[in-house]
Amino acid sequence: MRQQQFISTYIYGAACHDTGESFALILPYTNTDAMNRFLGELSLTIKIGRHVALLIDNAGWHTARKLIIPSNITLIPLPPYAPELNAMEQIWEWIKNHFLSNQCYGVYEDIVTMACYAWNQLSQNVDLVKSIMYRDWINTPR
């Protein structure tokens, strides 16, 4: 009998349903420090004069007291048990279905490499990002 062990990595990501622009970090943990790093790096990519409303679920690291929220980002918490309101859930599903499910990786670096490849393939196709994230009830002012 052979022992099966699991190793994971996490994609912290954000995408705009309107422009298809996206940003992600591949990080080894889901915790407040990782979320702070993601928010800090995302903040640096936001154009001067712009502000990002970032939808978040109620994961502990999304709502921690030690979370450092940059001034050009506002976190918008979604109601519990409402993943259909968060279009990023469909982004994760698309990435898993097209690149990451039913795979075995020898070492952690292989997982990171494939996660980076998967995100890069998706994010380079802004029309695909927009189509996955599209909701007919979203109306953003220009």
Compute the distance between CA of residue 50 and CA of residue 73 in angstroms, rounded to an integer: 9
pLDDT in tens, 89-111: 899 999 999 998 888 888 889 99
Q: Which structure tokens are listed for 86? A: 């968060």
Query: What is the DSSP pairing of strand 52-56 with strand 73-77?
Result: parallel
β-pair partners for 76: 55
Lowest mean pLDDT, pick from 19-28, 61-70, 114-123:
61-70
Range 3-26 average pLDDT: 86
> Which CATH architecture is the domain 10-133 placed in?
2-Layer Sandwich (3.30)
pTM for the full predicted model: 0.85
Phi-psi category of residue 99: left, alpha or beta, with phi > 0 → left and psi -120 to 50 → alpha: alpha
Sign of the C-alpha dihedral computed for residues 65, 61, 27 and 119 taken in this order: negative
Compute the distance between CA of residue 3 and CA of residue 23 in angstroms, rounded to an integer: 36
Residue with tokens 């506002």: 74
pLDDT in tens, 54-87: 988 877 676 778 999 999 999 999 888 777 778 8
Q: How many CB atoms lie within 10 A of CB 6?
A: 4
